[in-house]
């Protein structure tokens, strides 16, 4: 049986300017299937801009973003099936129920009804939202919305999942559920690209991390390599040391 | 496409779904208010047309046709302007777009849905006036049952043309000035449109009432014939009016059909170009370029206001407004159009300045000014509380809700009152109206400003939607429609109360029938009493609603 080619995400010299301000400067990195990548950095470092460029929500001035070897600029709308995106502020149609929203997303991605039902069943158990998924989303709390949005990003089985600040506003139980889902999700041939301020999340989950500061990627590699390099055990101390150098 | 359309329809259906007794009452009240408003409008238009058509000299038919033509021209310009205004938010700033653009839905489908939404946002205000107008035309002119169908099709064509041309202008300017901020683009669009309007305006002199008082029969006949020439006959509105009144001149009819067809084809062409530009425009639309380059703290205010929370809240509202280009851009465009209105009143022909017409104009000016105040309030004042969004919880936890509500009322009243007074006093001064009418106009505008403020602020509080960030969408939602209808009905009642002493005052001026200035005072007291009643009811209801709100 022919084995499916490994998923890859390659960014070369990505630069994004907003007028005279450079948000991302010559960013280069490379990831492949099963990688859980933690994208960390202070506020305004350029993390969300990078994620939006990969998701095709922002144009960039120079550089190439390749997904599975193909320049993302050449992607048509249908190629977006390979990507799942969880924004920092969850968007849901407030007059729909959680189930209806997931069903809607499944249909948009061209899934068969039976498959959608199966996936909804699976994620509702995995993420524990069965109790409320038949209520309108306007009644949900932030954490409830976030769980539905994360499930909607997984439902079509994307190769690359871009997640922007997944832990903001989640209670400990919801955080645990989301972390478990990410661990499970990366077992398949999938890249998880997670932007976060929660260093413990990066430490617990990520196989690789990237530290952004003032638009530049100041470190890219594994956490253990970084700890060896800086000679410190605590990721928080390392992070503060690296980012304070640029001040 | 089907999926997004289904979602839209489901959202609408659930928004109006009757789930309990409260929602039943809400729905019935809404249907009642809308029906009464539509019927009232129809009744007024119908009566005017029937009155004009009864005149034996034939001038009535021509004036009715001319009035309809002017109204349709105004509708078209309003649609065009509204489309420009709403498209910036609808096509670029809605949070839903970020979600849709990450899915495999084709850009063309997203564009189509947004075009449809933009058409609805831009046309609903015009629609609630034009539908009764079309029914009134059909019945008064006895055009038959098929007429309404034909008129609605033609009206939808006009909406489509206005919306696609408006959108094309936004896309064209943003393409041409792609390196500039949204604020600059809005200023450039406003200047370009005003320049075009200024050229048309100064080249074309108003002629509706351009008849000398000592005219002979030949002049009168020539004048009547001139009335049948439609205003802006090459605009879609003029073509549509020609087709509506269909004088069964074969050649003219074919010309009109061809012209309309040319407009529709051009609109489709412009829409296709816009659609192809859309994806790139969206991904290069940089929200962060809107960040303020001014780093100075603008929240510091004079020492004597230091302890006033109301002043602090007003300061915050003012800053938020001035730093949002879609808000100040839209209001600036409206205000500049009002300047043109003022100039056009001043430039009215010399014959028109006979005392009789001057008083009619002063009364019409009061009506128009208050109508403008009402429509601007629905667009800019009604959404203000909803636009607080989640920050309302901060306000509620840190400030007395009554202070907050009072600050909104004072701020909104100042805005709307200054606008109304400038319009009314400015135009009356140029018309050389006598002091009694000027004082009455100023007093009534002051009271009506208060009424309009409490209607839009009160209903804005009762029906606040803290989840919506698009002010145009808030204004065109359920609450906006209720607010618009209540404001217009209130103005109608106020003007109705004032019409009796005004008519008597005209008669006193011309026929020397005794008139007591107290008649005006009584009318003003009635208007004041109505406003106080409205203020009390809406203030209590609005405040209670805000106190109970959970965000």
pLDDT in tens, A69-101: 888 777 666 578 889 999 988 899 988 999 999
Contacts of B275-278 with C-beta under 8 Å, sequence gap 24+, read B275/B107, B275/B108, B275/B111, B275/B112, B277/B171, B277/B175, B278/B91, B278/B107, B278/B110, B278/B111, B278/B171
Candidate from A103-112, A190-199, A205-214, B45-54 with smallest mean pLDDT: B45-54
Rounded Cα–Cα distance for residues B486 and B374 (Å): 9
Token pair 């952004």: residue: A212
Task: Identify whether the C-beta of residue B518 lies closer than 8 Å to the C-beta of residue B433.
Answer: no
Q: Do B101 and A94 touch (CB under 8 A)?
A: no
Q: Does the structure show a pLDDT above 60 at B248?
A: no
Which residue of B15, B95, B283 is in closest CB contact with A91?
B95
Residue of A nearest to B107 (CA): A77
Q: Which residues of chain B are within 8 Å of residue A77 when distances are taken between CB atoms?
A: 104-107
Q: Is A93 on the interface with B (CB under 8 A)?
A: yes
Return residues 58-97 of B near A (CB < 8 Å): 95-96
Query: Nearest-CA neighbor of B271 among B170, B193, B155?
Result: B170
Share of chain A above pLDDT 90, in %: 51
Q: Is A87 on the interface with B (CB under 8 A)?
A: yes
Q: Is B393 on the interface with A (CB under 8 A)?
A: no
Q: Please compute the mean of the pLDDT values over residues B137-145 and round it to a whole number.
A: 86
Q: Is A94 on the interface with B (CB under 8 A)?
A: yes
Q: Which residues of chain A are within 8 Å of residue B289 when distances are taken between CB atoms?
A: 18-19
Residue of B nearest to A84 (CA): B102
Query: Nearest-CA neighbor of B172 among B291, B87, B82?
Result: B87
pLDDT in tens, B480-526: 888 988 998 899 899 889 888 887 877 776 677 776 777 888 888 99
B21 min Cα distance to partner chain A (Å): 20
Q: Which residues of chain B are within 8 Å of residue A23 when distances are taken between CB atoms?
A: 288
Q: Do B98 and A136 touch (CB under 8 A)?
A: no
Candidate from A225-234, B146-155, B531-540 with smallest mean pLDDT: A225-234
Rounded Cα–Cα distance for residues B478 and A154 (Å): 35
Q: Do B286 and A110 touch (CB under 8 A)?
A: no
E strands present in B379-482: none
Provide the total of helices (H) and of strands (E) in chain A, helices listed first.
Answer: 8, 10
Q: Which two tokens stand for residue A113?
A: 């009804």
Which residue of B11, B96, B103 is in closest CB contact with A109?
B103
Q: Residue A8: its pLDDT value, please?
A: 92
Task: Identify whether the C-beta of residue B143 lies closer than 8 Å to the C-beta of residue B74.
Answer: no
Q: Please compute the mean of the pLDDT values over residues B81-97 and round it to a whole number.
A: 83
Q: Residue A40: its pLDDT value, please?
A: 93
CA distances B277 to B189, B231, B268, Å, are 18, 34, 14
**B510: exposed, middle or buried (C-beta count within 10 Å: 0-12, 13-18, 19+)?**
exposed
Rounded Cα–Cα distance for residues B340 and B533 (Å): 35
Q: Residue B261: its pLDDT value, please?
A: 94
3-state secondary structure of A209: strand
Residue of B nearest to A138 (CA): B467
Q: Does the structure show a pLDDT above 50 at B1?
A: yes
Q: Does the structure show a pLDDT above 50 at B88?
A: yes
Q: Residue B288: its pLDDT value, please?
A: 42
Query: Nearest-CA neighbor of A108 among A152, A163, A45, A159?
Result: A152
Task: Identify whether the C-beta of residue B162 lies closer than 8 Å to the C-beta of residue B127.
Answer: no
Share of chain A above pLDDT 70, in %: 95
Is the CA virtual torsion B196, B199, B202, B206 positive or negative? negative
Query: Nearest-CA neighbor of B105 among B283, B365, B279, B247?
Result: B279
Task: Identify whether the C-beta of residue B115 lies closer than 8 Å to the C-beta of residue B278.
Answer: no
Is the pLDDT higher at A214 or at B307? A214
Rounded Cα–Cα distance for residues A175 and B4 (Å): 31
Task: Identify whether the C-beta of residue B451 lies closer than 8 Å to the C-beta of residue B532.
Answer: no
Return residues 37-76 of A near B (CB < 8 Å): 55-59
Rounded Cα–Cα distance for residues A205 and A184 (Å): 11
> β-strands A216-221, A208-213: how paired?
antiparallel
For testing the chain B interface, which of A90, A99, A104 should be mutated: the one with the most B CBs within 10 Å?
A104
For testing the chain B interface, which of A77, A116, A134, A140 should be mutated: the one with the most B CBs within 10 Å?
A77
Q: Does the structure show a pLDDT above 60 at B227?
A: no
Confidence label for B409 from pLDDT (cuts 50, 70 and 90)? very high
Residue of B nearest to A73 (CA): B280
Is the CA virtual torsion B202, B203, B207, B210 positive or negative? positive
Q: Which strands, in side-by-side order, build the sheet including A191-196?
A: A83-86, A160-164, A191-196, A36-40, A208-213, A216-221
Report the length, in residues, of chain B.
551
B271 min Cα distance to partner chain A (Å): 20
Q: Is B290 on the interface with A (CB under 8 A)?
A: no
Return residues 98-117 of A near B (CB < 8 Å): 100, 104-105, 107-110
**Which of the residue ranges B8-17, B31-40, B458-467 has the most confident prediction, judged by mean pLDDT?**
B458-467
Which domains, ranges and CATH numbers included, belong to chain A?
8-95+160-245 (3.40.50.300)
Q: Is B99 on the interface with A (CB under 8 A)?
A: yes
pLDDT in tens, A121-173: 999 998 989 999 999 998 898 889 999 999 999 999 999 999 998 888 788 88
Q: Does the structure show a pLDDT above 50 at B20?
A: yes
Return residues 421-480 of B near A (CB < 8 Å): 467
DSSP state, residue A3: P
Q: Do B11 and A80 touch (CB under 8 A)?
A: no
Q: Do B286 and A96 touch (CB under 8 A)?
A: no
Q: Residue B292: its pLDDT value, please?
A: 46
Q: Which residues of chain A are within 8 Å of residue B286 when distances are taken between CB atoms?
A: 18-19, 58
Q: Residue B311: its pLDDT value, please?
A: 76
B97 min Cα distance to partner chain A (Å): 9
E strands present in A68-143: 70-71, 83-86
pLDDT in tens, B279-305: 888 887 765 444 445 555 666 666 556
pLDDT in tens, A8-18: 999 999 999 88
Q: Which two tokens stand for residue A101?
A: 């929203």
A109 min Cα distance to partner chain B (Å): 6
Rounded Cα–Cα distance for residues A137 and A90 (Å): 11
Task: Identify whether the C-beta of residue B280 lies closer than 8 Å to the C-beta of residue B273.
Answer: no
E strand or H helix that includes residue A26:
strand A21-32
Q: Residue B222: its pLDDT value, please?
A: 63
In chain B, % helix, strand, coil (3-state, to 5) comes to 80, 0, 20
> β-strands A8-18, A21-32: how paired?
antiparallel
DSSP string over A162-192: EEESTTTT--HHHHHHHHHHHHHHTTSS-EE
B438 min Cα distance to partner chain A (Å): 50
Confidence label for A3 from pLDDT (cuts 50, 70 and 90)? low
CB atoms within 10 A of CB B256: 19
Q: Residue B353: its pLDDT value, please?
A: 55
E strand or H helix that includes residue A103:
helix A98-108
Query: Nearest-CA neighbor of A195 among A117, A102, A97, A86?
Result: A86
Quote the radius of gyration of chain A (alpha carbons, Å). Answer: 18
CA distances B161 to B119, B268, B329, Å, are 10, 8, 23
Is the pLDDT higher at B115 or at B294? B115
Rounded Cα–Cα distance for residues B9 and B229 (Å): 43
Count residue pairs from A and B with Cβ separation < 8 A: 68
Q: Is B19 on the interface with A (CB under 8 A)?
A: no
Q: Is B284 on the interface with A (CB under 8 A)?
A: yes
For testing the chain B interface, which of A21, A45, A46, A57 should be mutated: the one with the most B CBs within 10 Å?
A57
Q: Give the CA count within 13 Å in the CB-facing half-sphere of B297.
A: 3
CB atoms within 10 A of CB B54: 8
Query: Nearest-CA neighbor of A135 among A179, A100, A169?
Result: A100
Instruction: Provide the H-helix boundaries in B323-390.
Output: 325-346, 355-376, 383-386
Cβ neighbors of B199 (< 8 A, separation 6 or more) are none
Rounded Cα–Cα distance for residues A52 and A23 (Å): 12
Which residue of B7, B280, B288 is in closest CB contact with A104?
B7
Q: Does the structure show a pLDDT above 90 at A20?
A: no
Which residue of B7, B98, B106 is in closest CB contact with A93?
B7
Q: Which two tokens stand for residue A144?
A: 């409830």
pLDDT in tens, B232-241: 678 898 888 8
Q: Is B106 on the interface with A (CB under 8 A)?
A: yes
Q: Please compute the mean of the pLDDT values over residues B209-234 and round it to a whole number.
A: 61
For testing the chain A interface, which of B286, B287, B290, B389 should be mutated: the one with the most A CBs within 10 Å?
B286
Q: Which residues of chain A are within 8 Å of residue B284 when distances are taken between CB atoms?
A: 58-59
CB atoms within 10 A of CB B435: 8
Q: Residue B291: its pLDDT value, please?
A: 43
């Amino acid at each position: 049986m022919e084995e499916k080619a490994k998923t890859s995400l390659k960014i070369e010299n990505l630069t994004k300017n907003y007028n005279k301000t450079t948000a991302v400067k010559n960013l280069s990195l490379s990831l492949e299937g099963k990688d859980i990548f933690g994208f960390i950095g202070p506020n305004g470092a350029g993390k969300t801009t990078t994620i939006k460029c990969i998701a095709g929500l922002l144009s960039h001035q120079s550089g190439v973003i390749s997904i599975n070897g193909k320049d993302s600029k050449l992607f048509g709308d249908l190629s977006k099936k390979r990507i799942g995106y969880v924004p920092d502020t969850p968007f849901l149609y407030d007059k729909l129920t959680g189930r209806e929203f997931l069903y809607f997303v499944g249909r948009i991605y061209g899934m068969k009804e039976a498959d959608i039902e199966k996936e909804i069943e699976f994620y509702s158990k995995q993420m524990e939202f069965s109790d409320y998924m038949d209520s309108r989303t306007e009644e949900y709390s932030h954490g409830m919305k976030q769980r539905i949005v994360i499930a909607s990003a997984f439902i079509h089985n994307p190769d690359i999942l871009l997640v922007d600040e997944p832990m903001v506003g989640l209670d400990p139980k919801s955080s645990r559920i989301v972390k478990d889902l990410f661990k499970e999700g990366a077992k398949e041939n999938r890249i998880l690209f997670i932007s976060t301020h929660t260093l413990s999340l990066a430490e617990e989950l990520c196989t690789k991390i990237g530290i952004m500061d003032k638009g530049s990627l100041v470190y890219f590699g594994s956490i253990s390599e970084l700890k060896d390099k800086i000679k410190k055990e605590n990721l928080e101390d390392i992070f503060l040391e690296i980012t304070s150098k640029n001040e | 496409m089907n999926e997004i359309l289904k979602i839209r329809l489901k959202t609408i259906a659930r928004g109006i779904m009757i789930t309990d007794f409260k929602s039943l009452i809400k729905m019935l009240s809404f249907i009642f208010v809308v029906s009464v408003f539509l019927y009232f409008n129809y009744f007024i238009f119908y009566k005017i047309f029937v009155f004009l058509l009864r005149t034996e000299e034939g001038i009535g038919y021509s004036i009715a046709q001319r009035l309809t033509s002017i109204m349709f021209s105004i509708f078209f310009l309003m649609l065009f302007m509204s489309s420009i205004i709403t498209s910036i938010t609808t096509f670029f700033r809605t949070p839903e777009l970020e979600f849709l653009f990450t899915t495999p839905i084709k850009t063309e489908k997203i564009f189509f849905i947004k075009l449809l939404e933009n058409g609805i946002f831009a046309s609903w205000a015009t629609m609630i006036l034009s539908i009764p107008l079309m029914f009134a035309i059909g019945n008064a002119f006895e055009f038959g049952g098929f007429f309404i169908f034909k008129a609605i099709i033609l009206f939808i064509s006009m909406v489509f043309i206005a919306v696609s041309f408006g959108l094309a202008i936004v896309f064209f300017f943003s393409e041409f000035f792609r390196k500039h901020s949204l604020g600059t683009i809005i200023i450039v669009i406003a200047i370009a449109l005003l320049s075009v309007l200024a050229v048309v305006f100064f080249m074309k002199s108003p002629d509706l009432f351009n008849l000398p008082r000592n005219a002979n029969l030949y002049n009168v006949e020539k004048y009547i014939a001139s009335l049948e020439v439609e205003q802006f006959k090459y605009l879609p509105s003029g073509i549509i009016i020609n087709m509506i009144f269909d004088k069964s001149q074969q050649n003219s009819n074919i010309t009109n059909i061809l012209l309309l067809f040319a407009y529709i084809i051009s609109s489709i062409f412009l829409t296709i170009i816009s659609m192809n530009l859309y994806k790139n425009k969206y991904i290069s639309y940089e929200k962060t370029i809107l960040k303020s380059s001014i780093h100075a703290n603008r929240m510091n205010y004079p020492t004597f206001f230091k302890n006033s929370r109301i002043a602090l809240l007003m300061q915050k509202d003012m800053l938020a407004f001035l730093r949002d280009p879609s808000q100040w851009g839209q209001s600036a465009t409206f205000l500049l159009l009002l300047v043109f209105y003022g100039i056009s009143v001043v430039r009215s022909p010399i014959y028109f300045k006979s005392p009789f017409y001057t008083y009619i104009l002063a009364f019409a000016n009061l009506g128009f000014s208050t109508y403008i105040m009402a429509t601007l309030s629905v667009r800019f004042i009604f959404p203000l509380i909803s636009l607080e969004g989640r920050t309302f919880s901060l306000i509620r936890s840190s400030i007395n809700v009554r202070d907050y509500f009072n600050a909104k009322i004072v701020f909104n009243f100042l805005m709307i009152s200054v606008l109304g007074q400038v319009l009314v006093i400015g135009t009356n001064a140029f018309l050389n109206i006598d002091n009694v009418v000027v004082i009455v106009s100023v007093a009534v505008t002051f009271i009506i400003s208060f009424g309009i403020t409490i209607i839009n602020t009160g209903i804005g509080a009762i029906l606040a939607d803290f989840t919506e960030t698009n002010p145009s969408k808030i204004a065109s939602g359920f609450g906006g429609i209720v607010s618009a209808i209540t404001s217009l009905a209130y103005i109608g009642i106020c003007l109705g109360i004032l019409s009796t002493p005004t008519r008597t005052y005209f008669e006193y001026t011309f026929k020397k029938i005794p008139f007591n200035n107290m008649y005006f005072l009584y009318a003003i007291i009635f208007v004041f009493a109505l406003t106080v009643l409205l203020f009390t009811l809406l203030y209590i209801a609005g405040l209670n609603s805000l106190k109970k709100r959970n965000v």
